[in-house]
Every structure is written in structure tokens, then in C-alpha cells.
Structure 1
Amino acid sequence: MSQRINAFAMGNKAVNALHHLGSQLQHSSLDRSFLELLYFRVSQMNGCAFCLDMHSKELRASGETEQRIFLVSAWRECSFYTDREKAGLLWAETLTSLNGKEVSDEIYSEVTQHFSETEILDLTMAVIAINSYNRINIAFGADVGTYQVAEKAQ
């Protein structure tokens, strides 16, 4: 699909607010590399090729292993994700696929064993943000494959 609208270049106030949310999450209580892994997993679930390209590049640039990137969709069966990461991925998958269902007490209990209340709220906002980005990119098309990792200031 060709790009229909470049929603991120239009100066739309709501899209700008989403961008601001994403920027705030980079300075949240959550580890940035974990956030990238979460964004990658949710983008897999939503089929957002632009975000998969973007977050795979960010993950590699931050030193994440290919094994952890390639197998994140099977995180339940892998021993190389921490219990905390698994709880966060469980939360992200659950919120992404709610479909009118409530989050079970069992899932909430699992998440609260690994994350503080502030972290759970940040985790929830991160899931909301990436789901929103995914939907914008899928609805309007995005130039998949063009994302470049920004050079780090030294």
C-alpha cells in the first residue's frame, strides 16, 4: 500500500499529543530496551510492518540479540526472557487483544508481582501508544523500510 496521509507531518494536535506521549514514555519508569521489545511484540500482533521495521532496528541498535527479537512471539516458551519481561509482555498482549473482555485477576496479580503501580500505569500507556501508532500506520500507509535509527549524541 502506498502512503495515503503522512499523519505525523501534518501538525494535527491529536497526533502531536500521541507523539508527546511516546516521548514521555522514553523517560518513564520502564527500561527503554524493554519498551522497544514490548513495542515490537504489539506491532507483531497488529501486523504493523512500519513499526516492526522501526523497532527491530532500534532493538538491534541498542544491543538486543537477534534471538530475543526473533522469538519474542514465543516468549512463554523461552527461558531467556526474565519473569518481569514475561509479565510485561503478558500485560501488553492482554490489553492489545481485550475485545470487550476484562483483564483477569490472575493476569493482574502476575503483573503486580513484577511492576509497581506507577510502572503498571506506564506499561499501560505504552501499550495504548503503540496500538495507536500501529493503527495510524496501517490506516494511512507508511513507507516501510525507510526508518533510520538516530545517531546517539556522544
Structure 2
Amino acid sequence: MSMEHSRIEYSVFTKMVPSVYAGLLAIGSAVKDSGLEQKLAELIKVRVSQINGCAFCIQYHLNIARQIGVEAVKLDLLAGWKDAGIFSAREQAALAWAECLTALTAQGAPDSVYEALQAQFTEKEVAYLTVAIGAINYWNRLGVGLRFSPPPAITGGHI
């Protein structure tokens, strides 16, 4: 998306509403400090952003995922994770939960998905994972609504 299509640029947004930006960064820091695997968190953020069609967040979190060493094949097959056969049971449970919480009106948050999540995560991890999913959904609504221009793609594995 080009600059002329952006409603409010990301850099302008962060300066315009600094307390909102700081609050969102604080949520992200809390999730990062929770002990939840960063690679898993980035997979979730990319997948939710794909569902929501947020180009800014897709590119932003792909850049981070590449930087921290998420396998390229997992990034390539993320949209088809259910059939890919390469995601761990833990990743599958987290991705299923992320999809439920992102498409609430279509399916809600079924007990069966939550039970599969509980089999892979502690209660504290479930709480932080749910916060991470909520936060990226919020960021997606900002990015899509304000049409943040995607950051440049990082292809070498390092930002």
C-alpha cells in the first residue's frame, strides 16, 4: 500500500496518541516477558494478521519471525497450518485458539478448542496467549482502519 493510500501513517499515529501506543507496547512487553515462546507468539501474530488482512502487521511480524529464526517453511505454510503436518501439537492448539478468538462471530470459542489448548499450555500461558491474540487483533484493527503502510520486507533473516 502506498503512502497516499494511508489514512494515518504508523509513525504519525505513534506520536499522535503516545499513551495508547505506550499501552499497547506495555501489553506486548508483558507477553514477551511471560515466558511464552517468542517464535510461537510471532506465528500467532502473523496468522491473526492474515485472517484480518492487515498488511502492515503481516509484514511487521514476518520480519520479526525471520529475525528470531522461525523456520521459513512454517511461515510459508502458516495459512494452511491445519493440513501442513509440520506444526507441533502446541502450535496447532495455539493457532486454533487464535483463529477462534479472531473469528468470534463465526464460531465463538468452543470448549473443544479450549480443552485442546489446556492440554498444551498452563493456565498462565493460556492467559498470556489470549492477551497476545487480543492485542494483535487490536493492532490489526488500527492497521486496517488507518491503512498503515507495510514496513519494508526483511529477507536476510536479520533486521
TM-score of the pair, normalised by structure 1: 0.88
Which residue in 1 is equivalent to 2:22? 16
Which residue in 2 is equivalent to 1:80? 86
Which residue in 2 is equivalent to 1:143? 149
Is it true that 1:95 corresponds to 2:101 in the alignment?
Answer: yes
Q: Give the helix-richer structure, 1 or 2.
A: 2
Which residue in 2 is equivalent to 1:134? 140
Distance apart, 1:30 and its partner CA: 0.8
* Alignment counterpart, residue 127 of structure 2, candidates 121, 125, 129: 121
Amino acid at match of 1:137: G
Is it true that 1:111 corresponds to 2:117 in the alignment?
Answer: yes
**Unmatched 5+ residue regions in structure 2?**
none
Report the aligned-residue RMSD. Answer: 2.0
User: Contact 2:7–2:146 at 8 Å: present in 1 too?
Assistant: yes
Distance apart, 1:122 and its partner CA: 0.3
> Aligned with 1:99: secondary structure?
helix
> Aligned with 1:64: secondary structure?
coil
Higher mean alpha-carbon deviation, 90-99 vs 22-31, is at: 22-31
Distance in 2 between residues matched to 1:19 and 1:2, nearest whole Å:
22
> Aligned with 2:120: secondary structure?
coil
Equivalent residue pairs, number: 151
**Unmatched 5+ residue regions in structure 1?**
none
Is it true that 1:4 corresponds to 2:1 in the alignment?
Answer: no
Distance 1:130-1:102 versus aligned 2 partners, 3 A rule? same
User: Contact 1:33–1:59 at 8 Å: present in 2 too?
Assistant: yes
Distance in 2 between residues matched to 1:136 and 1:74, nearest whole Å:
25
Amino acid at match of 2:102: T
TM-score of the pair, normalised by structure 2: 0.86
Distance apart, 1:150 and its partner CA: 8.1
> Aligned with 1:26: secondary structure?
helix
Provide Cα deviations, 1:26-64, integer angstroms capped at 9, x if missing partner. Answer: 111310011011100000000000111111111111122
Distance in 2 between residues matched to 1:103 and 1:3, nearest whole Å:
33
Distance in 2 between residues matched to 1:58 and 1:15, nearest whole Å:
19
Q: What percentage of aligned pairs have identical amino acids?
A: 31
Distance apart, 1:147 and its partner CA: 6.9
Which residue in 2 is equivalent to 1:25? 31
